[in-house]
Structure 1
Amino acid sequence: MSVALSTPPQRRLSGGIMSAYGLGSIAYGVKDQGFGTFLLLFYNLVLGVPAATVGFVVMCALVLDAFIDPAVGFLSDRTRSRWGRRHPWMYGSAVPIAVGYTALWSPPASLGETGLLVWLFVCAVIVRTAVSCYEVPSVALTPELSSDYDERTRIMAYRYLFGWAGGLGMMLAAYLSILAPVPAAAPRAAFATFGMVGAIVIAVAILVSAAGTHREIPNLPKPPAITGTLRESFAELFESIRNRAFAILMMAGLCAYTIQGIGYALSNYFYAFVWMLHGVQLVYLIFALMLGAATAFVIAPRVARGGSKAGWAVAFGLGAATVQTAPFWLRLAGLFPVPGTPAFFPLYFVVVAVGTACSVAGFILGASMMADVVEDSEAKTGRRSEGVFFAGSFFVQKCTSGIGIFLASIILAIADFPVGAKPGTVDVATIDRLTIVYASVYVGLALIGAFFFSRFPFGRAEHEARLGKLAGAPVVDAGPH
């Protein structure tokens, strides 16, 4: 079967379109911050379910995502409607996500431990499946909006900026009002309110973003409908995902997002039990995270214009590992300021801001590199499979709240961290074990991730050559190989 290739133009997008597109990532930011930062704490410290059990259940739900995400991407690639390939999925996901997210934080009071675990599993599956139906088609728009090498980094920078703003905005609301003064001591009802507020923000962000990018539908690539048997369809799917560059990015991303997931899940434990943060300090800390994300938004597109995206992703990943773990190592050596002293919080503020900037910049560059994989596959197979490839990327991101939470729960178990502990009641030896294991795992995963990023085979020269090849080869055989 022969089909015409459909490569988008190399163009710079208007600020309005960029903002509308980025706005949708607020939904994932709110969901991800909730899952990553508060879910383990809620079910463990508030509802009394053992941390390792919570982590295991959340990771089990992730197994289904390994099948759901590629299926959504594959079906999205093959969707043909007057609203294009992506927007029907985006509009249709808003209500299911909101309903599932509200239920996640409002388990019936009559449930015992087993009932709570079943509730957690079912709600996690519903939320993450519905999020897939939005996020996979939405992020697949990145290589469709422009084929310009630098513009794609800028697109991803907007997406990450809005995503972090959504997540941190929800965290700010939690610390200032909904879960104040200390999330670990907040009642069940407060978490139910947290879930309802988050659900409203998620639904609004999705619908506004979908409507704001709706006028771009006529400008998006329109590859012809692909027909064939179910067997041929699966053959095409597996041919696409065998791409070597895709596998490299998947492995690098798995390490990076698992690190982020562990950090999210343990952040409130570190804030309350290691650094003794409370009240206004937690608010200032959110501004440090925002400052770091905004810095990454500025620097990632700029460094990409002057060098290798893969090389900079390695540098930022290792930089984040160095900066983020330094306070823990220095604390063990007695060289970091003691919490409560005048020097402590200003220094910790800088550490958080710089470490976040490095981490987010690396994520932006890694995500923009996935667009190169799409066109490499198109040149080899004749099919534009944005949905399939970005589904893989999105699945890796979900490891933040799957493998990350599971490993965080294992770290708590190794440290013998007590269930239902209150700040100031945990002995120093337990705190030391917690920080040593966490920092060691972080550094190890960062080194593995850097290794994979360094093996990514494409840069600017390969991108330009590939576009030239695609432009000169309008018709290819896109049948099963």
Structure 2
Amino acid sequence: MNRLELGSKLGYGIGQAAEGLKTGAFEYILFFYYVQVLGLSGTLSGAALLIAMIADAVTDPLVASISDNHSSRLGRRHPFIYLSAIPMAFFFVVVFMPPDGLGQWGLFLWLTGFSILVRVAMTFFVIPHLALGAELTSDYDERTTIVAYRTFFSITSMSAVVPLSFWLFFGASEAFPNGQFDPAAYGPFALVLAVLIVLAIIGTGVGTHDRIRYLPRPVHAPETFSFGHVLSDVVESLENISFRWFFLGIFLYAVARGTQNALNVHMFTFFWRLAPDEIAAWGTAVLIGSVTGIFAWVYVARYLSKKYTYISGLMLWTSCMGLPPLAYLLGWFPEHESPFFLPLIVAFGGLALFFKGSQITSGSMLADVADEHEMTTGRRQEGMFFGAISLSSKASSGLGHLGAGLVLDLIQFPSDAVPGGVPEETLRSLAFIYGPVVLVVVFMGCYAISRYSLTRDQLVEIQERLRVRKVPHPSE
């Protein structure tokens, strides 16, 4: 089971659009909506999203363990994929439609509770779906191709949220020149995304359904579920040196990414003072950069190792996101009135997501670690590795959101701010966190990922030993 048909790759990849759309809405839109539109404090907004992400992160290894040990005629992964669609869509819509008059603590509880439900419902899809990708093939290069399809739909769908929202829902009107301040726009926005999420989840289940009979079954006997067993699995996964460094690198990267994503719309609206159609233009460039970047990095990955493909892309991505604010603070960036101002903002955005396409190798690196783990322990646990790395990513991204909220309150960013009405010193503090601070944290994460040690030759040897182990002995 090495090479897959195009239909199976597309069927698998399209599922990641569900998480991409949810993530785009939560990362780019939700924080701004609750802070600047509904008036919830930055600290409480960040704390609510952190709590939700921690709850989500805790359920990742739980769902991974349940899925790894599940047995049915639909295999280990597909039952969870099919059952997650409708609950996920319902909770997603509700989180964007709080009733009036809740007050600070009411909004905090609404955001916390329904964000948890959205994320847990999505976990029951995402973890089995990620594990499914590692099981579709054992070929070193084909794994990267499969992850490229998944990453393509993930990054493009996430990147599409900004242009989709600002072109269709947050456009300028007489009442709201900056449409992102219109409370009535968020309900239709959530409904449209919820429908697309359901279509993506059902589509990937149907698109990979014919592969169920080829998927590997657990090589160990199914185990009775327990929290202690889940904890021991997570600890066991961290005993793998390559995985341990990769885990740390993803943690640092996600802290930086969470902070930056939460502050994106604040930066566009208040620091760069972009109009809705200009933000949509930036989002369109990001979408184009995402699409072209995926294909370019698949080609690059043929010549660079997976590790260095991933690291080089992350370093270039964070440089494109962080250097424009730094240059502006130093007086090296064109002023707002310059004809070069908007083209440079748009170009750096497109380039940033072009370079982020290097993430195609991350899932493939984890699939290789799962092979090494099976050789060492005799246990096939793709779900646990993807669950553990998802735990790291989500918990740290939650810290990033909390950090963003604390920053807004510490610099006394006004909740009723209008573009052009925020003190210059406040805006400079915002840009310093968004640019140089994030840049340093991502570079620290890249150093950690550089310690990942599995190579192509090592994986070939590992897989050969696994094949020999699985061949029945003549006496049996």
Same fold? TM cut 0.5: yes
TM-score range, shorter chain: over 0.9
Would the aligned equivalents of 2:64 and 2:127 in 1 still touch at CA under 8 Å?
yes
In structure 1, what is the equivalent of residue 431 of structure 2? 435
In structure 2, what is the equivalent of residue 100 of structure 1? 91
Kindly report which structure 2 residues correspond to 1:16-415, keeping only aligned pairs within 5 A, or say none: 16-181=7-172, 185-224=180-219, 226-228=221-223, 233-234=229-230, 235-236=232-233, 238-361=235-358, 363-399=359-395, 402-415=398-411
Q: Structure 1's 208 and 51: CA in aligned 2 closer, same or farther, altered over 3 A?
A: same
Q: Structure 1's 84 and 237: CA in aligned 2 closer, same or farther, altered over 3 A?
A: same
SS at match of 1:473: helix
Would the aligned equivalents of 2:257 and 2:397 in 1 still touch at CA under 8 Å?
no
Distance 2:349 2:183 in 1: 30
Q: How far 1:401 sits from its partner (Å)? A: 5.1
Q: Which amino acid aligns with 1:345?
A: L
Distance 2:404 2:256 in 1: 10
Kindly report which structure 2 residues correspond to 1:441-452, keeping only aligned pairs within 5 A, or say none: 441-452=437-448
Q: How far 1:142 sits from its partner (Å)? A: 1.6
Distance 1:190 1:253 in 2: 34
Q: Structure 1's 52 and 233: CA in aligned 2 closer, same or farther, altered over 3 A?
A: closer
Distance 2:292 2:455 in 1: 24
Q: Name the stretch that deviates more: 154-163 or 221-230.
A: 221-230
Q: Name the stretch that deviates more: 20-29 or 400-409.
A: 400-409
Q: Name the stretch that deviates more: 39-48 or 222-231.
A: 222-231
Would the aligned equivalents of 1:80 and 1:225 in 2 still touch at CA under 8 Å?
no
Q: How far 1:230 sits from its partner (Å)? A: 5.5
Q: Which amino acid aligns with 2:430?
A: L
Distance 2:181 2:343 in 1: 27
Q: Deviation digits for residues 342-378 of structure 1, max 9, x if unmatched? A: 11122222211112222231x2222221111111110
Q: Structure 1's 432 and 58: CA in aligned 2 closer, same or farther, altered over 3 A?
A: same
Q: Name the stretch that deviates more: 109-118 or 178-187.
A: 178-187
Q: How far 1:251 sits from its partner (Å)? A: 1.1
Would the aligned equivalents of 2:16 and 2:151 in 1 still touch at CA under 8 Å?
yes
Q: What is the aligned length?
A: 466
Q: Structure 1's 124 and 89: CA in aligned 2 closer, same or farther, altered over 3 A?
A: same
Distance 2:207 2:66 in 1: 23
Residue segments in structure 1 that go unaligned for 5+ positions in a row = 1-8, 477-481
Q: Which amino acid aligns with 2:199?
A: V
Would the aligned equivalents of 2:31 and 2:262 in 1 still touch at CA under 8 Å?
yes
Q: How far 1:386 sits from its partner (Å)? A: 0.9
TM-score normalised to structure 1 length: 0.92
- Aligned-residue Cα RMSD (Å) equals 2.0
Distance 2:318 2:280 in 1: 24
Distance 1:236 1:446 in 2: 28
Q: Structure 1's 400 and 206: CA in aligned 2 closer, same or farther, altered over 3 A?
A: farther
Q: How far 1:446 sits from its partner (Å)? A: 1.4
Q: Which amino acid aligns with 2:266?
A: Y
Distance 2:89 2:49 in 1: 19
Would the aligned equivalents of 1:249 and 1:366 in 2 still touch at CA under 8 Å?
no
In structure 1, what is the equivalent of residue 421 of structure 2? 425
SS at match of 1:331: helix
Q: Which amino acid aligns with 1:267?
A: N
Q: Structure 1's 30 and 183: CA in aligned 2 closer, same or farther, altered over 3 A?
A: farther
SS at match of 2:469: coil
